[in-house]
Structure 1
């Protein structure tokens, strides 16, 4: 089995996971806000030491490339660029919503729901939502239907969707379901699930099995939004 190190710092959590042959992955996952830069490299060294392997023994490094917090995404990508270059390792860039989707389909609530189509919707700040639609297929991972979108909460397309998950549910509530209030009456919601290195690892293992490794020199963040902050005028209008 492959040894893949997975990293995600695209949210308020610092998250690192390492696959270990047939054993369960070892994980560090902690809410740190702005402290990920102090924990990331020590955690990586801890996991490698616990597995009794060196960085060069890895088959690749997976990284959550966003969309997400601008500074966090840059931190994770920069760290992987340095590590993979030094050890001459391929990389596996994973979109944060794809990582969340891979985790969601393994939860007992999702399995019990029998859902076949679902949406991951994540708070993108600035009164917007990152979202994407997925379908459960015959393979281990769900298939994303098209691109990751950035819209107002009311712009999330939920027609013929069986399940909705992500932080946008708690952040925007009724606004998210304005066009499809029937979903609110059901139980097929998960507002707490977020991106985790385990989800990144799951996606990366699938990519590795398909020969989808990437040269580290091609690695870059996934930016859905070009603008990362509101101007003072825009903020005043928003709250006025």
Structure 2
């Protein structure tokens, strides 16, 4: 099966193609550009470059996986709308995954983990993992108010991980494999996905004047 993976929950614009079968997986192509202002401009070109590099066309895709956040409103909706658009046009399933879970999967399950990503407004999105399973979060908080707890390692936003007194794993954003592998069993079995729902965790910055007045 050929799976398209996309994520725009962080400043990184990520796309990749992963081949899945019962014997394992192969990453066929990936593109990642860190530019918080260019999600809309870069994501579709990244997807098309991955398809071209792998010798594939959109009709070859069997499923789409998208990071559903948490993430800032504007960037996150680019990835989710693009993923939903490809899935709808091709009549294939689209699976959502918490973007923090994808980062945690890349780090591995051997140590208790805290994942943080940039939430802007001098805040971070966060979640905690034990044995590879999220047991707390996701949430949004100021770094100064977020306790490390029993976490043995931290991963995520490079401008925020150093604010915490815990060893850093250099995993900054979701990868194609981090997005796809936690869902591999569901994808291979043809399980019907749940509706993709964005994890904004707070209201968007931009609101209509009437709503602002209320």
Q: TM-score range by the shorter chain?
A: 0.7 to 0.9
TM alignment of 1:8-23, pairs within 5 A: 8-20=7-19, 22-23=25-26
The correspondence for 1:55, drawn from 52, 55, 58, is: 58
Runs of at least 5 residues in structure 2 that lack an aligned partner in the other structure: 207-214
> Equivalent residue of 1:37, what SS?
helix
Correspondence 1:224 to 2:213: no
**Cα separation, 1, equivalents of 2:103 and 2:144:** 21
Question: How far apart, in 2, do the equivalents of 1:165 and 1:128 lie?
Answer: 15
2:160: which partner in 1?
Answer: 171
CA contact (8 A) 2:112 2:152 kept: yes
Instruction: Compare CA radii of gyration and give the structure with the larger one.
Output: 1
> What is the DSSP-based 3-state SS (H/G/I as helix, E as strand, rest coil) of the residue aligned with 2:150?
coil
What CA distance in whole angstroms lies between the structure 1 residues aligned with 2:133 and 2:190? 18
Calculate the TM-score normalised by the size of structure 1: 0.73
Structure 1 runs not aligned, ≥5 long: 107-114, 137-141, 178-183, 230-240
Distance in 2 (alpha carbons) for counterparts of 1:44 and 1:94: 18
SS in 1 for 2:42: helix
* 1:20-71 C-alpha deviation (Å, 9 max, x unpaired): 3554331011123322322222322232233333323322101111111321
- List, as ranges, runs of 4+ consecutive aligned residues in structure 1 with deviation greater than 4 Å: 209-213
Would the alpha carbon gap of residues 226 and 133 (structure 1) be closer, same or farther in structure 2, given more than 3 Å must change?
same
Greater alpha carbon shift after TM alignment, 144-153 vs 50-59? 50-59
Which range is displaced more, 85-94 or 6-15?
Answer: 6-15
Alignment of 1:103-122 (within 5 A): 103-105=106-108, 115-122=110-117
> Between Structure 1 and Structure 2, which shows a larger proportion of helix residues?
1
User: 1:42 maps to which residue?
Assistant: 45
